[in-house]
Amino acid sequence: MRAQSPPAETPEVREILKRYREIWAVNYARALISWDMETYMPEAASRERGEVRAELSKMVQRLMTHPEFVSLVESARPANDFERGVVRVLKRDIEYYQKLPPEFVEEEARVTTEAFKAWEKAKEKSDFESFAPHLERVFDLQRRKAEYLGYEDHPYDALLDRYEEGLTVRDCERIFSVAGELSDLFKKVRERYPERHPLEDEGYDRRDVERLNRHVLTLLGFDFSRGRVDVSAHPFTQEVGLYDVRITTWYHGRDFRRSLLAAVHEFGHAAYEMNVDESYWATPVQGGVSYGVHESQSRFWENVVARSRAYVETLYWDMRAVLPFLSRYSPEEVYEYFTLVRPELIRVEADEVHYPLHVYLRYRIEKMVMEEAVGVGELPQLWGDMMEELVGVRPEKDSEGVLQDVHWSLGYVGYFPTYAIGSFLAAQVARALGRVEERVRARDFSGLMAWLRERVHRWGSVYPPRELIRRATGEDLNPERFLEYLREKYLA
């Protein structure tokens, strides 16, 4: 199956990788049942699925913290970058599992499984009150987790670090320091666009957009022999294994870009996982290094590529061949539709200009809840106030506000800031790559992918995210690059 054996030179690391195979296999199973939970699992199976997830989580913890395995990792003397990456990743995971009591790991898996199903129902009915008790338990678990894991300055730091290695509240404050400039830029740009575009109201046959999605994904380079496209309430990517990467999108019957851009976004995640060096298969460094770097790949393909003038113009006839109503619109009108800038209530439907403001809102709320400065019952009101302040609109129902995202139900507290990191880093990657529009216009998607594969994807988790960012772009994460990208694209 593999092109070559892992580049391990020392006997200790070879033994570590041999023992790790059991952990890898359990994680493979966990990934598969998680994908099923969010796609096709029967509603009545949630409690039973929670028990299974809890047992598998405890199994991983037992294997990861086995004294012999821990001793091997702690005594290892890595001889190359690959081995250093393996030891670094495992030391982080071992420390995580050593600090969390097994009963806590079991409780978290059970609580979040039930919370996810409760969130699905609550969102459908726009009923926050029914979800609130579950969310109370989730945030209580996350505060307890922070105490178990430990932190220096802020309890939120312990959770941020799980999604973006080394990330702290102090880093987030620096990253979001551009929020004011971004808000001003958004207000300038939105004046240039209509409140609504007629293409948003054009209905479509789902089969046609499914065909368009598959065509576009094939052009971009999605390997259907190693992946599949399904439907879910919230588009996502699930890396089951190096040869099994699954993405989802959604269909609404109108406004086709919502489905297409979601598919392209998830393609970016999938490409990262599929392009990891095959010699890293079944090792601790097989997956992407962090959620922020991962998000940069999806935002690159969704925004830098698929929302570019070159993309719309070069794929105009492809889209028109599948969607006959496009014959009534010029390429320029379709480009305007793809790049609409206006206040949106829903994060995943927000334009690239003010999308990070949505993320900033969630960061501020999570930080306050972790500090217990606000209670769960206050969140709908607080959400509305902050949305009005940052974006200029206020949700009329919970499904458009505090219930719109799945993350909290799954216990993913500390995840949201990585979305802003991803947006900012995507612009930085585009700048380092160069000639993106030219390559898109020539349909040289394989050329773009080759650069990303060599600079980012192939390395998996070998290098820490900050080091990988410097290697790929020549500088540390720089939010100013995002502002430069937006000004050139929308104000030039």
pLDDT digits (tens, 9 = 90+) for 36-83: 998 999 989 988 998 999 899 999 999 999 999 999 999 999 999 999
Q: Looking at the domain assignment, is residue 88 inside a domain?
A: no
Q: Which of 258, 273, 263, 254 is nearest to 218 (CA)?
A: 263
User: Of 164, 266, 273, 295, which is the active-site residue?
Assistant: 266
Three-state DSSP state, 248: strand
Query: Which residue reads 């979040």 in tokens?
Result: 112
Kindly state the tokens that stand for 246. 């699954």
CB atoms within 10 A of CB 125: 15
Count how many domains the chain has. 1
Summarize pLDDT for 152-207 with one digit per residue, the tens. 999 999 999 999 999 999 999 999 999 999 999 998 999 888 889 999 999 999 99
Residue 404: pLDDT band with limits 50, 70, 90: very high
Q: Looking at the domain assignment, is residue 165 inside a domain?
A: no
Kindly state the tokens that stand for 275. 């392009």
CATH number of the structural domain spanning residue 194 = 1.10.1370.30
Q: Looking at the domain assignment, is residue 343 inside a domain?
A: yes
Q: Is the pLDDT of residue 1 over 80?
A: no
Type of residue at 113? T
Kindly state the tokens that stand for 138. 């989730």
How far apart CA 367 and CA 378 sit, in angstroms, is: 14
The answer to whether residues 318 and 215 touch, using CB atoms and an 8 Å cutoff, is yes
Q: Looking at the domain assignment, is residue 485 inside a domain?
A: yes
Type of residue at 412? Y
Average pLDDT over residues 234-244: 95
Question: What letter would DSSP give residue 308?
Answer: S
Q: What is the pLDDT of residue 380?
A: 97
The answer to whether residues 304 and 436 touch, using CB atoms and an 8 Å cutoff, is yes
Average pLDDT over residues 300-305: 98
Average pLDDT over residues 443-463: 98
Q: What is the pLDDT of residue 39?
A: 93
Regarding pTM above 0.75, the answer is: yes
28: left (phi over 0), alpha (psi -120 to 50) or beta: alpha
Which range of residues forms the domain containing residue 350? 170-490
Q: Looking at the domain assignment, is residue 379 inside a domain?
A: yes
Q: Which of 290, 241, 286, 247 is nearest to 268 (CA)?
A: 247
Residue 433: pLDDT band with limits 50, 70, 90: very high
Residue 5: pLDDT band with limits 50, 70, 90: confident
Q: Looking at the domain assignment, is residue 413 inside a domain?
A: yes
Q: Looking at the domain assignment, is residue 317 inside a domain?
A: yes
Q: Is 372 in the active site? A: no
